[in-house]
Amino acid sequence: MRSRSRSSTVLQDRLAWQCASLLLSYPDTARLDTAERLLAHAEGIAAELLSRTAFELRRLDPLRAAQDYVQTFDMCRRTTMYLTYWTAGDTRNRGAAMLAFAAAYRAGGVAPPRSEAPDYLPVVLEFAATVDPDRGRRLLVEHRVAVDVLRDALTEAASPYAHAVGAVSATLPPATHADLQRARRLAAAGAPAEAVGLQPLTLSVPPRRNPGGD
């Protein structure tokens, strides 16, 4: 009975991660359609939160959705989805932090993505949902402070994407007191930085997308 319950929880988490990955990717009608089909099989608080994001995105004109996405994730550091930005910022440690993601992907039997950084939240969620849920969950738990800071920034901005990131948080163990304290410090002070001797990493701010492009 206990094993069936755990299996069901893992399945629901994987559904939530896959839906969140689709909804947090650049707006696309096909992705939204797929997310809504998956949500028909999902349940719990994560499913409710994801459904809110899907509903709000469905109401938007496609061009407006694309513009909002670029403004939210490509133009603002406070809502970047590159998880190591929050743990390492513009420091030498960030390269090693991203290598840890790449190593986890290889250990799970897949090559790191070539078209996106390995710490990009939709990529991490896709890996956790479809490749290796155990390693994927560990990556998310290790970076849950970054996930929570992102959720709070999106909530403050009244973004529909806040619900999707909140759904990811809902699949993880409760935040500890230390997690909460660290999240407050990050939200107040921003990501770490080295003032001298280092050129900023090119992925500190996500690349801009052309709303009218692919």
Task: Give long-range contacts, CB 8 A cutoff, 24+ apart: 113-117.
Answer: 117/82, 117/203
For the chain, which ranges sit under pLDDT 50? 1-4, 194-214
**In degrees rounded to 5, what are phi and psi of residue 135?**
-65, -40
Q: Domain 1-189, CATH 1.10.3480 — does that match?
A: yes
Contact (CB, 8 A) for 97 and 88 = yes
- What's the pLDDT score for residue 162? 98
pLDDT digits (tens, 9 = 90+) for 38-61: 999 999 999 999 999 999 999 999
Bridge partners (DSSP) of residue 193 are 90
How far apart are the C-alpha atoms of 41 and 19, rounded to whole Å? 11
How far apart are the C-alpha atoms of 172 and 186, rounded to whole Å? 20
Residue 202, both tokens = 């090119």
Strand, helix or coil for residue 208: coil
Give pTM, 2 decimals. 0.82
How far apart are the C-alpha atoms of 43 and 140, rounded to whole Å? 20
pLDDT digits (tens, 9 = 90+) for 149-178: 999 999 999 999 999 999 999 999 987 767
Residue 139, both tokens = 């990556």
Contact (CB, 8 A) for 142 and 104 = no
Domain regions of the chain by residue span: 1-189
Contact (CB, 8 A) for 14 and 136 = no
